[in-house]
Homo-oligomer: A and B are copies of this chain.
Amino acid sequence: MEAEFYDWLREHVPSDPSWPLGLRDDAAVWKRPGGAELVVTTDLLSDGVDFRLETDDPRRAGRKALAVNLSDLAAMAARPVAATVSIALPRSGIGGRTPLELAIALFEGLLPLAKEFDVAIAGGDTNTHDGPTVISVTAFGEVTARGPLTRSGGQPGDALLVTGTLGGSILGHHFDFTPRVREALLLHERYELHAGMDISDGLSLDLSRMASASGCGAVINVDSVPFSEAVRNTEERLDRALSDGEDFELLLAAPVDVAKKIVKDRPLGCPVTRIGRLIQGDGLMFEKMFINPAYVEPRGWLH
Minimum distance in angstroms from A223 CB to a CB of chain B: 35
A89 CB contacts on chain B under 8 angstroms? 1
| Assembly CA distance A100 to B120 (angstroms) | 34
Does A43 sit at the interface, judged by CB under 8 A? yes
Contact with B along A161-185 (1 / 0, CB 8 A): 0000000000000000000000000
Q: How far is the CA of A14 from the CA of B136 in the complex (A)?
A: 20
Report A16-56 residues with CB < 8 Å from chain B CB. Answer: 16, 18-19, 23, 27-28, 30, 32, 35-36, 38, 40-44, 46-49
Instruction: Tell whether A19 pairs with B111 under 8 Å between CB atoms, given A84-B40, A103-B1.
Output: no
Closest to A26 in B: B123
Chain B CB within 10 Å — which of A1, A84, A123, A128 has the most?
Answer: A123
Contact of A215 with B by CB under 8 A: no
**A36-B35, A44-B88 known; A100-B138 Cβ under 8 A:** no
State the oligomeric state as a number of copies: 2
Q: Is the CB of A100 within 8 A of B1?
A: yes
Q: In chain A between 77 and 128, which residues have their CB closer than 8 angstroms to a CB of chain B?
A: 81-82, 84, 86-89, 98-100, 103-104, 107, 111, 115, 120-128
Contact A104 B8 (CB under 8 A): yes
Shortest beta-carbon distance from A14 to chain B in Å: 7
A1 to B126, CA, bound (A): 9
Q: Which of B4, B35, B38, B44 contacts A136 (CB 8 A)?
A: B44
CB-CB under 8 A from A82, the residues of chain B are 19, 28, 30, 40
Going nearest first, the 7 A-B pairs with the smallest beta carbon separation are A131-B131, A136-B136, A46-B129, A138-B138, A44-B86, A28-B122, A42-B84
